Structure 1
Amino acid sequence: MTDPVAITTADPVAITTAGGRLAGWVHDGGREPAEHSPRPFLHPVTTRSGRNVGDYRPADHAWHWGLGVTVSNIAVAGQQYPVNLWGGPTYLAGQGYVQLPNNGSQRVIGSGLEKRVLHQRLEWCAADGSTFLHEERTWSADTVQAGGVEWIRTSVRSRWMNRSGGALAFGSPTTAGRANAGYGGFFLRLAASFDGAEIVAPTLAAVSVGSKSTLRAESADSTLGTADPVGIRREEDAMGATADWLALRAGAASVLMVPAAGNPGGPSPWFVRSTGTPMLCAAPFFHAEMHLGVDDAIDWQWTLLVADGPAPDVAIGAAAKTALAVRA
């Protein structure tokens, strides 16, 4: 295998399919304000026709940028406050959201292209600049025909390696005490056109809010969940529930997010809003912290599929099955 061709500019990088269709542009985030927790993100996020399904710096949350990997609360040894890689204020029990000097960053220290795959090496840093985690991430795109619909699929693979010298704990505002605020993970801020969109899901499992779970370097594959039956869910039912995948369907476009079946923790809980501030997030740290031991590493994979128009149930179910069949 040849080495990726090094990228020596901070300009956005186009992610395209083999047929030349644009999935979006990856920005390194280095130009964003420190209090917004700079990090890489994909924007715009485009359908086959070029319609953008993401949002960037919406008025309600200027630190929401398209598609990316974000974690709001990370307990790091030696840090007074949890490191915030989501952006903006941090939730503190008894005080609510407070702007603290704890906004960290995901800093790109190396990147390259190889056969349309963008490879990135990242350092996750606390606000004081100290590195606590190394990440290797790839972005790639292809085209999927499913249920009579053409989808643009963006795949993100990520390996996290603890370099803090102590255990790390990944959490959310909910693990810190705020109900129904379990955001953090694989996150897409949706375009305003998704306000009022339908939430489409398989049968949703009951939420487990048990004791803290532990991330392991060798996690067993979870049972491959069925993509059927497809049903429309109310926002209050989908928020915090676990499922193999989740989709939003609007008049102009549809989006489908699928975590890999082998991701740590099994089927993901979801943070989703379809009114006011539309967003979709596979949120593995919603209900309970996950720990990563000293020098341990874990692997993740997520996919996002986007299509023009309101995709029918059969197309969403078929696309979900196709994505679930890909092993991390």
Structure 2
Amino acid sequence: MTMDEQLTLVQTHPLSLGGRIVAEYVWRPHLPSLLSPRPYLHPVRTLAGTEVTEAMPPDHLHHLGASLAVPDVGGVNFWGGRTYVRGKGSVPLPNHGVQRHHRWEARTDAVLAQELHWVGPDGEVVLRERRRIAARPVDDRAWALDFRFALHSAKTGPLEFSSPGAKGRIGAGYGGFFWRARRGLRSVRIIGPGAEGAARLHGSRDRWVALSAGGPDPWTLVFIDIAAQGDPWFVRGDDYVGVGASLAWSEGFTAAPGEGPRRRIVTVVADGALNPAEAERMAASVTSAASERDHGS
């Protein structure tokens, strides 16, 4: 199959605000199984048009912009790449799953809602997901990506969610909503409430954490735990730049049939390198606006 033929299999939907495309949602990707194929957002842009996501970078080909990925659900790798095995480290296994679009529930310029099926390598449905993604205006230099999901076990018995961190790899409790950021030539500060740097914020349970990128075409991403779920933040800033909200940081958990985690993360995408006080105000403003909207006031 030629590259042009492969591209025709990929299906995307733009998210736009005021006639300006701020993100592309690749809802039907065409990817090798080793990457645990799944829908993802890339490129995501600031209002000025600066790209703030990275997809399939050489260091981690399975990092796909902004997406939902879990390294171990019932033994199936829905993250991509190698699988961490206790006592053996990261090893290649033929256990990669795929997230398949099942149906649309809403599809407009600024709101996407869909049902997804998470399918194991044997073709069996492991999870059913309801996902809603919305682009919302904030001010003249920022907009917000509202990403919420509900996972439901399709198994008849208990279903375990796990991570390398839960299997003994300290600090590697990744899995959940994850954003791979595009650093380029920029210097990136990692900031949170009263703290700064990956060493202090990695594993924290603060209400928000932010990436503030200086240099050419500066930008800021403020990740907000809008529903105060308290998941630890997975933060990287040295070898690459990324932020995620971890579902199974240091311990796995089990979901009963039809049950599973529900989460909501709102990410402010802003032009300019915000300082900690500005990021704090932005997080508070967006949280307040979301609360008012949810309560219909």
Q: Which amino acid aligns with 2:15?
A: I
Name whichever of 134-143 and 234-243 sits farther off: 234-243
Name whichever of 298-307 and 112-121 sits farther off: 112-121
**What CA deviation, in whole Å up to 9, does each residue of 1:218-260 have, x standing for no partner?**
xxxxxxxxxxxxx441211211121111101111111111122
Structure 2 residue aligned with 1:156: 147
Structure 1 residue aligned with 2:30: 31
Is the alpha carbon distance of 1:11 and 1:153 closer, same or farther for their aligned partners in structure 2, counting shifts above 3 Å? same
Indicate whether 1:261 and 2:227 are aligned. Answer: yes
CA contact (8 A) 1:201 1:243 kept: yes
Quote the Cα distance in structure 1 between the aligned partners of 2:167 and 2:270.
36
Indicate whether 1:284 and 2:247 are aligned. Answer: yes
1:312 shift after superposition: 2.7
Structure 1 residue aligned with 2:41: 42
Structure 2 gap ranges (5+)? 1-8
Runs of 4 or more, structure 1, over 3 Å off, are: none
Quote the Cα distance in structure 2 between the aligned partners of 1:291 and 1:125.
18
Q: Which amino acid aligns with 2:89?
A: G
Quote the Cα distance in structure 1 between the aligned partners of 2:275 and 2:88.
44
Q: Say what the alpha-carbon RMSD is for the aligned residues.
A: 1.9
Structure 2 residue aligned with 1:135: 129
Structure in which a larger fraction of residues adopt helix: 2
Structure in which a larger fraction of residues adopt strand: 2
Q: Which amino acid aligns with 2:199?
A: E
Any idea what SS the aligned residue of 1:316 has? helix
**What CA deviation, in whole Å up to 9, does each residue of 1:264-306 have, x standing for no partner?**
xx31201111112111111131122132211225432111111
CA contact (8 A) 1:71 1:85 kept: yes
Question: Of the candidates 80, 85, 94, which is equivalent to residue 92 of structure 1?
Answer: 85
CA contact (8 A) 1:244 1:268 kept: no
Question: Of the candidates 248, 266, 273, which is equivalent to residue 303 of structure 1?
Answer: 266
Q: Which amino acid aligns with 2:91?
A: V
Quote the Cα distance in structure 2 between the aligned partners of 1:280 and 1:180.
13
Structure 1 residue aligned with 2:4: none
CA contact (8 A) 1:65 1:189 kept: yes
Question: Of the candidates 70, 76, 83, which is equivalent to residue 76 of structure 2?
Answer: 83
Indicate whether 1:241 and 2:235 are aligned. Answer: no
Q: TM-score, normalised by structure 2?
A: 0.88
Structure 1 gap ranges (5+)? 1-8, 76-81, 203-230
CA contact (8 A) 2:16 2:109 kept: no
CA contact (8 A) 1:195 1:276 kept: no
Q: Which amino acid aligns with 2:29?
A: G
Is the alpha carbon distance of 1:124 and 1:256 closer, same or farther for their aligned partners in structure 2, counting shifts above 3 Å? same
Question: Of the candidates 155, 165, 170, which is equivalent to residue 161 of structure 2?
Answer: 170
Q: Which amino acid aligns with 1:200?
A: I
Quote the Cα distance in structure 1 between the aligned partners of 2:173 and 2:262.
21
Question: For residues 206-221 of structure 1, what are the structure 2 equivalents within 5 Å?
Answer: none
CA contact (8 A) 1:137 1:158 kept: yes
Q: TM-score, normalised by structure 1?
A: 0.80
1:29 shift after superposition: 4.6
Structure 2 residue aligned with 1:63: 62
CA contact (8 A) 1:47 1:307 kept: yes
Identity %: 31
Quote the Cα distance in structure 2 between the aligned partners of 1:86 and 1:194.
27
Is the alpha carbon distance of 1:297 and 1:176 closer, same or farther for their aligned partners in structure 2, counting shifts above 3 Å? closer
Any idea what SS the aligned residue of 1:192 has? coil
Structure 2 residue aligned with 1:73: 72
Structure 1 residue aligned with 2:95: 102
Matched residues, number: 279
Any idea what SS the aligned residue of 1:317 has? helix
